[in-house]
């Protein structure tokens, strides 16, 4: 489902070079590496938020390297959750469906229940805790039914119980429908939730 061919990114003194790997359709893969090695940059390249200086990005066999983010059908949860703070939790969860002109009510209600956010639906996101914001961001990324889900340090703000709930939710999502997950981390314990752990992608 996800294939990167010789990806390179140059930005000032930072360089990401020669990254090549594949993630099978329906798999949950973890990319590991130290802080500052380029893990977030890699996700941004796959999501279409950053153009590589060299290399190709393929999703389900299609070369999407030059396509806009909206045309890639990818859900992305950045490291800082990045919820829309002036909007309600309900509006955040519905966002991907709303901009696509699709009904959101049943999907939002079901996701809110599974993410334990029902009691927060009509609250503005500005006052959420870190763990709550992370769950809202994850729900927003899942709501429109992406074929690929990209997660940047997805469990950083979560306590042990919330972490277990989120892992269970991701496992359930993969069982419900075709979904390929790629998440980056520097925490080796995150690898226990994955089918594959990709290391040594970022040479010193």
pLDDT of residue 39: 92
Show the DSSP H helices in the chain as ranges. 39-47, 89-98, 105-114, 130-143, 160-176
Class of domain 2-198 (CATH, top level): alpha beta
pLDDT of residue 187: 76
pLDDT of residue 34: 85
Distance CA 45, CA 79 (A): 15
Torsion of the alpha carbons at 13, 14, 20 and 22, rounded to the nearest 10:
-160
* DSSP state at residue 170: H
Distance CA 21, CA 2 (A): 8
Torsion of the alpha carbons at 101, 105, 109 and 110, rounded to the nearest 10:
-60
Distance CA 149, CA 96 (A): 13
Residues of the chain below pLDDT 70: 157, 204
Helix axes 105-114, 130-143, angle to 10 degrees: 140
pLDDT of residue 157: 67
């Amino acid at each position: 489902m996800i294939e990167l061919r010789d990806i390179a990114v140059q930005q000032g003194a930072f360089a990401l070079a020669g990254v090549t790997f594949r993630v099978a359709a329906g798999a949950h893969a973890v990319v590991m590496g130290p802080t500052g090695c380029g893990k977030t940059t890699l996700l941004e390249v796959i999501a279409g938020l950053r153009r590589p200086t060299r290399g190709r990005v393929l999703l389900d066999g299609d070369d999407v390297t030059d396509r806009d983010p909206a045309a890639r059908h990818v859900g992305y949860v950045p490291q800082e959750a990045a919820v829309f703070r002036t909007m309600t939790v309900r509006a955040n969860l519905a966002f991907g469906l709303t901009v696509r002109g699709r009904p959101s009510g049943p999907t939002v209600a079901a996701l809110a229940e599974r993410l334990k956010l029902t009691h927060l639906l009509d609250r503005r996101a500005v006052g959420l805790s870190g763990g709550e914001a992370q769950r809202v961001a994850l729900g927003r990324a899942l709501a429109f039914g992406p074929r690929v889900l990209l997660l940047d340090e997805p469990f950083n703000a979560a306590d042990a119980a919330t972490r277990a709930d989120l892992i269970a939710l991701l496992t359930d999502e993969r069982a419900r429908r075709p979904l390929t997950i790629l998440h980056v981390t520097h925490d080796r314990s995150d690898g226990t939730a994955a089918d594959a752990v990709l290391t040594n992608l970022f040479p010193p």
